[in-house]
Amino acid sequence: MSARPGEFELIAELFAPLTRGAPAALGLLDDAALIRPRRGHEFVVTSDGLVEGVHFLAADPPDTIARKALRVNLSDLAAKGAEPIGYFLTLMLPEDRSFAWLKTFAGGLARDGDCFEVPLLGGDTTGTPGPLALSITALGTVPSGRMIQRSGAKAGDLVFVSGTIGDAGAGLELAQASRSEPAELVARYRVPEPRLRLGQALRGLASAGLDVSDGLIADLGHIAEVSGVGIEVSAELLPLAPALRRHWGQEAAVRAAVCGDDYELAFTAPASLRARVKDAAAFAGTAVTEIGRVERGAGVRLLVEGQPQPLAKAGWRHF
């Protein structure tokens, strides 16, 4: 195991380059960042913590752990229609993480920092007896009054989801069994795709929205609850990847509906805006599928061949 430098040496060597020269980061030489919002914009702030054995596996490559931690936060910003401007990292390291491990971890952050043009603005590092844990707080901006919230869905609205769902749930199942194929499913679990361009294109179109982290049915339940409506989803309309259909067969749609970790965008929009939603999806280069409707009532129902499907669980529960 290679020796690990001290905290300030780690910051200088591995993390200061991740600021990408952003003035707000102050070179990571201060105790805080200095951020000025653009005129006519508001901050959107989100934070997610990841714990080894809960949100990722101990055997997962360190660069994918870093990329997932950043991307799940960027996905939250995408769901709000926000443009990311930077992030803060708190890293709680067990003693057994070598400098080589940390260098690969930081490399994952550097790769995605460049990909999404988002700098590290600050944070904290500390030791822990374990397990490994990290938290990222991401900052974004939206034009004033344009953030997509969970509370705007109305009866008669259509329900949409981006990309395909269920892939990450199957990928986790495969990773837990130490299987690497189908590789595209494992990759979807380890490195989700934040739909930033789509989220920004949906400002003014989506009446309510969020990202699918706990499972499609569970997360749509949050929209239903906050908006005071009911939602119906048709299993036959759910967008499923060919690899998932082959892997799970006839159970694929129902299982996909309750899987977490997809980080696709689920949102509602007035039926009159259907064509504009399709245009926004085309502009963003992200497939969007209409999967159901908002109705009067409460809760979310998954319909299979028009009949409500009993579900043992709606999705992931944190407690």
Instruction: State the amino acid at position 4 in one-letter form.
Output: R
Mean pLDDT of 273-283: 98
The percentage of residues in the chain with a pLDDT greater than 70, rounded to a whole number, is 96
Mean pLDDT of 290-298: 97
d(CA 257, CA 218): 9
Is residue 242 within 8 Å of 170, Cβ to Cβ? no
d(CA 71, CA 213): 12
Q: What angle do CA 282, 232, 235 make, to 5 degrees?
A: 70
Q: What is the pLDDT of residue 3?
A: 62
Q: How do residues 170-213 score in pLDDT, each as one tens digit?
A: 999 999 999 999 999 999 999 999 999 999 999 999 999 999 99
Domains contained in the chain, CATH given: 7-27+35-143 (3.30.1330.10), 158-306 (3.90.650.10)
- Terminus-to-terminus CA distance in the chain, angstroms? 36
* Positions of E strands within the chain: 41-51, 83-93, 120-127, 133-143, 158-162, 208-211, 230-234, 265-269, 288-295, 299-304, 307-308
Q: What is the pLDDT of residue 10?
A: 83
Total-model pTM: 0.93
